[in-house]
Amino acid sequence: MVLEPHLGGRLFERTPDGVEVDWGEITLWSPPLRLGYLWHIHRDRSDATDVELTFVDLGNGTTRLDIVHSGWERLGAEGASWREANTGGWNALMPNFVVAAEASD
């Protein structure tokens, strides 16, 4: 997974054989507090949904991550199944994110 760290930057996957698969585009870049992007993995950009991540300092070296993912209605009848699959993706990703964040301390 590659994230180009700037407004308009790409989110994409680079496979082991070098193929790039577009996932989205950065629409909000405000480190270290917020990140927003269009998400359209394996879909046309016109079907993109909106993701906004907000990092909330809770003190004592802890942070809460708020994730708002909207625009599922753009996918029509497929919206509900894509949303469910996306939730599963976040649930699988978050433990890796926590390990990486804790390692950077």
Give the structural domain span for 94: 2-103
Task: Give the C-alpha distances (Å, rounded to integers) separating 88 from 8, 31, 59, 60, 92.
Answer: 27, 26, 29, 29, 6
φ, ψ for residue 39 (rounded to 5)? -120, 120
**pLDDT tens per residue across span 35-50:** 999 999 888 888 999 9
CA distances, 51 to each of 19, 24, 60 (Å): 24, 10, 27
Question: Mean pLDDT across the stretch 49-56?
Answer: 96
pTM of the complete model:
0.85
Indicate the DSSP class of residue 44: -
* 84, amino acid identity: E
Question: Distance (Å, rounded) from C-alpha 86 to C-alpha 97?
Answer: 16
State the total domains in the chain.
Answer: 1
Say if CB 41 and CB 22 are below 8 A apart: yes
Q: What is the pLDDT of residues 58-78, one digit of tens each?
A: 999 889 999 999 999 999 999
